[in-house]
Chains A and B, each alone.
Chain A
Amino acid sequence: SQTIHQWPATLVQPVGSPLSLECTVEGTSNPNLYWYRQAAGRGLQLLFYSVGIGQISSEVPQNLSASRPQDRQFILSSKKLLLSDSGFYLCAWSIPQGVNSPLHFGNGTRLTVT
């Protein structure tokens, strides 16, 4: 069966520090991978999605970036965190059948930038 691992579960970082959140999927090949941010009252915002190694689509221009160094690994990064980066970050995957596949979510990372 497929599983998705996301870590860390919680993170407190000072403003200006770097960020690296990692997400890995097991039990499937060439999944579509996604990073979402869930902010209070604002629902789920799509940040990045990837349909293959090295292929990243960015939905929001900001100081976050994503990388997919391996087929089932998706990393969310920042060189310098801002206070506004605080939120709940969710990694998700879907099978590569485009629109017909629901998302499967990781446990999420609660990021607090102080």
Chain B
Amino acid sequence: AQSVSQHNHHVILSEAASLELGCNYSYGGTVNLFWYVQYPGQHLQLLLKYFSGDPLVKGIKGFEAEFIKSKFSFNLRKPSVQWSDTAEYFCAVTALNDMRFGAGTRLTVKP
């Protein structure tokens, strides 16, 4: 069965710092990849998604992610974080009809 690994459980950054959250998956077939974000007290929201084409995808709020097929990775990046980016971030992989999530990475941005 496919699985998703997020290596960072809790990341603490200062405002304006650059962000990279790691995501690796284990599935050899065709997959689609997502990053979801959950702001404190809010629902899960889709941040960005990759289906095909350009492996560098841009999402909302200045986030981007790069799909590297050879590394089975889909890391999330943002050049300069803001305090409002404090949230929990989930990487997800779909194949067939189910979607698997990573354990999540809690990002705390200090003002």
Contacts and interface: CB of A to CB of B under 8 A. Distances in A.
Interface of A: 32, 34, 36, 41-46, 49, 51, 57, 59, 90, 94, 98-100, 102-103, 105-108
**Interface size range of chain B in the complex:** 20 to 34
B103 A99 contact: no
A103 B9 contact: no
Nearest to A96: B97
A102 B102 contact: no
Interface in B8-36: 9, 30-32, 34, 36
Given A102-B49, A105-B43, A49 B32 contact: no
A104 B69 CA distance: 26
A99 B101 contact: no
B103 A90 contact: no
Contact of B90 (A43, A49, A98): A43
B90 A99 contact: no
Which 4 residue pairs are nearest across A and B when measured between Cβ atoms? A43-B103, A44-B101, A43-B104, A99-B94
B67 to A, nearest CB: 14
Given A32-B97, A46-B98, A49-B97, A102 B34 contact: yes
Given A59-B98, A90-B44, A100-B51, A42 B103 contact: yes
Contact of A98 (B96, B103, B104): B96
Contact of A99 (B6, B31, B46, B104): B31
Interface in B46-93: 46, 49, 51, 90, 92
Nearest to B34: A102
B103 A108 contact: no
A49 B103 contact: no
B99 interface: yes
Given A98-B97, A99-B31, 15 more contacts: A32-B97, A41-B103, A43-B101, A43-B103, A46-B98, A57-B97, A90-B44, A94-B99, A99-B51, A102-B46, A102-B49, A103-B92, A105-B43, A106-B43, A107-B43
Contacts of A45: 101
B100 interface: yes
